[in-house]
Amino acid sequence: MGELKKILLKKKNCKSVWFMRQAGRYLPEFKKIRSKNKDFIKLCLNSKLSSEITLQPIRRFNLDSAIIFSDILMVPYGLGQDIKFIEDKGPVIRNFNLKNFLNFKKKDFNKKLRPVYSAIKTTKKRLEKEKSLICFVGAPWTLLIYLFGLKINTNNIDLKKIKGREKEIKKIFNKLNQFLCLHIKNQVRAGADVVQIFDSWAGLIPKNKVKDFCFKPNKKIVDFCKSKNIPIICFPKGIKKKYLQFNNYVRPHGISLDYQIKPEWAYKNLKNVVIQGGLDPKILLKSDKEIFKRATRYLKAFKGIPYVFNLGHGLLPKTDPGKVHKLIKFYRNF
C-alpha cells in the first residue's frame, strides 16, 4: 500500500510529500517533450509519453506519490466535446451541445479515454511499490465553467450565462457525476491508488449556490469513492472559511488547502480529515530563506496530526526545479 493511501485510510501521522502540477511545465525534460507535441489533448492521450511525464518528477525528486499526467477536461472530451488549448488563454470548449452531451454512451466514453487508463497501467508497473499513484477528476461546477464558457478572467465569470438555467445545470451535473465516477472507477481499476477532486473555481460560485454547486456534487463523488474503499482528497479552492462547512458536509478522507487558508485556522477547525498542502506556489520564486520560513509555519502548525506536505495550488511555470529539490530536502530533514 502506497504511503499516501495509508495516511488517508488510516490517518497515520507519516511523512509524505508530493506537489500539484509536479509533472509538467517547469521541468526542462517536460519542455523537451512538449516542444515536439503541440496538441495538449493528444499529448494526454499518448499513453507512453503521459506515463513518462508522470515519472519525470519521481526520478528527479524521489517524491512519495506520482500524479498521472492528464487534465480535468478529459471527462468532457470523453463525452464528445471539442476542446482546444489556446496559448495565453487556456482550454476552451467549443460548440457545447446539451442533447449530444446527455445522450453520450458509456462504451464510447471508455473507448475515447482508453489511452488514459493505459498510461496509468504502464505507470503503475514502473512505479516503486511504496509510492502512491494519484488520479484525478474535475468537480462538476469547475467543469461547467468550461462547458458554458463562463470564464472572463482568473477572478471573474459571466454569471448571466447561468441565470435561469437551473434545470439544465441539474441535468449536466447528474450526467457529469455518472461519468466522473466511471472515470474514477476506470482509473483505479488501471492501478491508481488515490483520487483528488479539483474544484478549482469553487471560489467563484455565487454565495447562495455554494451548497448546491460545490458541497453536494463533491459529496456524491466522495460517497461513491468511500463505497468502493477508494481514498479521496477534495480541493475546493477559494471557498475561504467555508472549508469548515465543506469538510463537515462532504467528509472526504483528505482535504487540500489553498494558499488563502491560514494553517493555524485549518488545524483548529478541520477535524477527522487528513490535511494536505497550503503553501503558496509563488513562494518558490523567492529566496531559500523565505521558502524555508514559510514551509516551517505549515510544518509547525500541523505537527502531531496527519499532514501531507504540498502546495496550495500547482507549481508555476517559472519555478526553478532546484528550489523544489531544496524544499523537499528541507521538509524531509525538518
Can you list the domains of the chain with their CATH numbers?
Answer: 20-57+66-272 (3.20.20.210)
Q: Which one-letter amino acid corresponds to residue 76?
A: P
Specify the residue for cell string 508497473.
125
Neighbours of 113 (CB within 10 A): 23
Could you give the CA distance from residue 333 to residue 83 in angstroms, rounded to a whole number?
43
236, 273 Cβ separation under 8 angstroms: no
Question: 314 and 20 in contact (C-beta within 8 Å)?
Answer: yes
pLDDT (tens digit, 0 to 9) for every residue of the chain, 334 residues total?
A: 688 999 999 888 778 999 999 999 999 999 999 999 999 999 999 999 999 999 999 999 999 999 999 999 999 999 999 998 887 777 889 889 899 999 999 999 999 999 999 999 999 999 999 999 999 999 999 999 999 999 888 788 898 999 989 999 999 999 999 999 999 999 999 999 999 999 999 999 999 999 999 999 999 999 999 999 999 999 999 999 999 999 999 999 999 999 999 999 999 999 999 999 999 999 999 999 999 999 999 999 999 999 999 999 999 999 999 999 999 999 999 9
